[in-house]
Amino acid sequence: METATTVPQSGADILVQCLVNHGVEVVFAYPGGASMPLHQALTRFQHRIRTVLPRHEQGGGFMAEGYARSTGKVGVCMATSGPGATNLVTCLADAKMDSVPIIAITGQVGTAVIGTDAFQETPIVEVCRPITKHHYLVQRTEDIPRVMKEAFYIASTGRPGPVIVDVPKDLQNKKIVPNYDPPMNLPGYRPYRAIAPQQLEGVLALLRQSKKPIIYAGGGIVLSGAAPWLRQFAEKTSIPVALTVHGLGGFPSEHYLSLNMLGMHGSVFANLAINEADLLLAFGVRFDDRVTGKVSEFAKHGKIVHIDIDPSEINKIKTATLPIVGDIGEALRALVAMIDRDPSLIPKASQFADWLHQIDDWRAKEPIRYVDRNDAIVPQYAIERLWSLVKSRGRLDETIITTGVGQHQMWAAQYWKFTTPRTWCTSGGLGAMGFGLPAALGAQVAHPFKTVIDIDGDGSFLMNLQELATAYCEKLPVKVLLLNNQHLGMVVQWEDRFYESNRAHTYLGAGFDHQPYPDFETIVRGFGCGARAVRRKDELDDALEEMLDTPGPFVLDVLVPYQEHVLPMIPGGMTVRDIIKA
């Protein structure tokens, strides 16, 4: 790390040097008037930092998220003031909801005109205050090294999250002699809390009293690197594991103890198990409404152990019998060590035999399933075929899946069997359409030798279609499995279930000649990317092979019926007793 210099440097050069000092390898940045000095500085550091030019600031923000989600490192994006900065708002809100460490650097108008409604001025810090983990409006060029040091520390420690750094243009141009290793000034920030051994002994004591335990594991497992310890703990205790949408990959989907995803579109057997469990081990979760449904009925038959690094999540939704604030990775590692030292701390596997048999019965009677059709490609089948093909090539652990938001997202969660953490990137809490393609590009930048596939829907894909230009120009060979049903499928599903199938602006086609609209194959080829449209089931496997084997970016447009519903489904605010299976 560069820590001392006697040569005056511009604020822009200082900020970019700070990025280098913090190990940043790539910035997703779109220039404008208030950020021009920063971009000029990036050209002077191009041998140290790669600058990827998105075609929309939101695309750049989602790319930073894809980079961060797939690596665990801090993703960095950059935009100009005003509309450039406001185009990052959705990305920041998404990162806050899903605990993603990104830093958004925005140019701001000069300090002399802040507050005068100057050209392209917005008070972006005020706009983003409630949707970021922390925020800075830089007041002096001298503060830049401290602000950046704090920003990286805050974004990446404790519960990760987004930080925005707003830098007025005159401070970017001003030259000073910087101090690159200033002390941080964060007196109230305590990201880590040690877990007392007595608390973990309490977890095992509750386990010894249990007959029907279950692990409810979330994104915290992935964020803390706890997946190996979760597997050891589950295997040593014979406790089944149900995963949230962000927990996917944190426990192998094909493991005997895996119940796969629970919640609104989770498996019937996972939801039944949660409902009947007498002990709920909630590890790295926040009791999201998509999981709990009617909160008063969720897991009401059991005691709850809740371990999470964020104290604000403890007892927020459900009151825990044993609340523990701390890192779930450290907790599980310590629990495994305690069991290894003294196996008598846990009950014999036979104590849970009846429980596991009951779950096996539920699993056999209510598997995740769909009705195949000979006359059409149903989306579940397309995802299954792609998964089988990737598996046959031995590439599952080397393949990263991103998605947009909607039915295709839930089908991907149901039918792609994940084995490895950080191979699944999706917008969960915010549910931001348009996420899939740019997130795939960010993940591909981070993992140039892995296969990155965006499983997307036509509605989501259209929202950031312009990033195909980034894929082509940056030589990022992402693949897109486009499940094209010509509708906003998830909204259609709700229309069918709750609004008597009255279509309220959910049809995305043209409707003039009954041909799919738009012509994605032509559009994609216009961007210089590979493309193919598939309309017949007997063409699908060959087309999937072509998509995977094409060296550059490729979009496979698969026409699917819009009448398909994501099932099972627990309607919002309801319980497993209200689950819709068909």
Region 391-401: what's the mean pLDDT?
A: 97
**Interval 440-450: pLDDT, tens:** 999 999 999 99
**Interval 312-367: pLDDT, tens:** 999 999 999 999 999 999 999 999 999 999 999 999 989 999 999 999 999 999 99
Put simply, whether the predicted model's pTM sits higher than 0.75 gets the answer yes
146-155, 237-246, 318-327, 507-516: segment of lowest average pLDDT: 507-516
Q: 515-535: buried (b, 16+ CB within 10 Å) or exposed (e) per residue?
A: ebbbebbebbeebebbbbbbe
What is the model's pLDDT at position 2? Answer: 59
Percent of the chain's residues with pLDDT above 90: 97
Region 222-235: what's the mean pLDDT?
A: 98
- For residue 300, what are the contacts with CB-CB under 8 A and spacing of at least 6? none
Q: What is the CA radius of gyration of the chain?
A: 25
Three-state DSSP class for residue 246: coil
What is the model's pLDDT at position 3? Answer: 60
Query: How far is 256 from 215, CA to CA, in rounded Å?
Result: 14
Catalytic pick among 2, 119, 391, 475: 119
Q: In Å, how far from its chain's centre is CA 169?
A: 32
Beta bridge mates, 165: 105, 136
Tokens of 445: 């930048």
Catalytic pick among 28, 57, 78, 352: 57
**Interval 175-210: pLDDT, tens:** 999 999 999 999 999 999 999 999 999 999 999 999
Catalytic pick among 73, 96, 169, 479: 169
DSSP 353: H
What is the model's pLDDT at position 4? Answer: 67
Q: In Å, how far from its chain's centre is CA 328?
A: 18
Res 147 pLDDT > 70: yes
Three-state DSSP class for residue 423: coil
CATH superfamily of 9-176: Thiamin diphosphate (ThDP)-binding fold, Pyr/PP domains (3.40.50.970)
The upper half-sphere exposure of residue 213, i.e. CA atoms within 13 Å in the direction of its Cβ, equals 26
**Interval 102-135: pLDDT, tens:** 999 999 999 999 999 999 999 999 999 999 999 9
Is 348 in the active site? no
Determine the longest span between alpha carbons in the chain, in angstroms: 74
Res. 311 pLDDT band, cuts 50 70 90: very high
DSSP 155: H
Beta bridge mates, 89: none
Give the Å distances, CA to CA, from 112 to 13, 39, 126, 141, 169: 22, 22, 18, 14, 10
- Residue position matching structure tokens 């609340």: 323
CATH code, 197-365 = 3.40.50.1220
Q: Using CA atoms of 152, 154, 155, 158 in order, give the dihedral in degrees to the nearest 10.
A: 130
Strand-strand pairing, 175-176 and 9-10: antiparallel
Cα-Cα-Cα-Cα dihedral sign, residues 20, 22, 24, 27: negative
Is 119 in the active site? yes
Res 375 pLDDT > 90: no
Domain ranges of the chain: 9-176, 197-365, 379-559
Helix (H) or strand (E) holding 441: helix 436-446
Is 490 in the active site? yes
Query: How far is 477 from 50, CA to CA, in rounded Å?
Result: 17
- Where helices occur in 138-226 by DSSP H, the ranges are 144-156, 169-173, 197-209, 219-223
**Do the domains spanning 9-176 and 197-365 agree at the CATH topology level?**
yes
Res 513 pLDDT > 90: no
Res. 71 pLDDT band, cuts 50 70 90: very high
Is 261 in the active site? no
What is the model's pLDDT at position 5? Answer: 75
Region 291-299: what's the mean pLDDT?
A: 94
Catalytic pick among 410, 463, 490, 547: 490
Catalytic pick among 36, 40, 120, 294: 120
Is 120 in the active site? yes
Three-state DSSP class for residue 142: helix
Tokens of 90: 């959705």
What values do phi and psi take at 530, rounded to 5? -75, 150
The upper half-sphere exposure of residue 477, i.e. CA atoms within 13 Å in the direction of its Cβ, equals 13
Specify whether the CB–CB gap between 156 and 68 falls below 8 A: no
CATH code, 379-559 = 3.40.50.970
Q: How would you list the strands of the sheet with 279-283, edge to edge?
A: 258-261, 241-243, 213-217, 279-283, 303-308, 322-325
Query: How far is 520 from 528, CA to CA, in rounded Å?
Result: 13
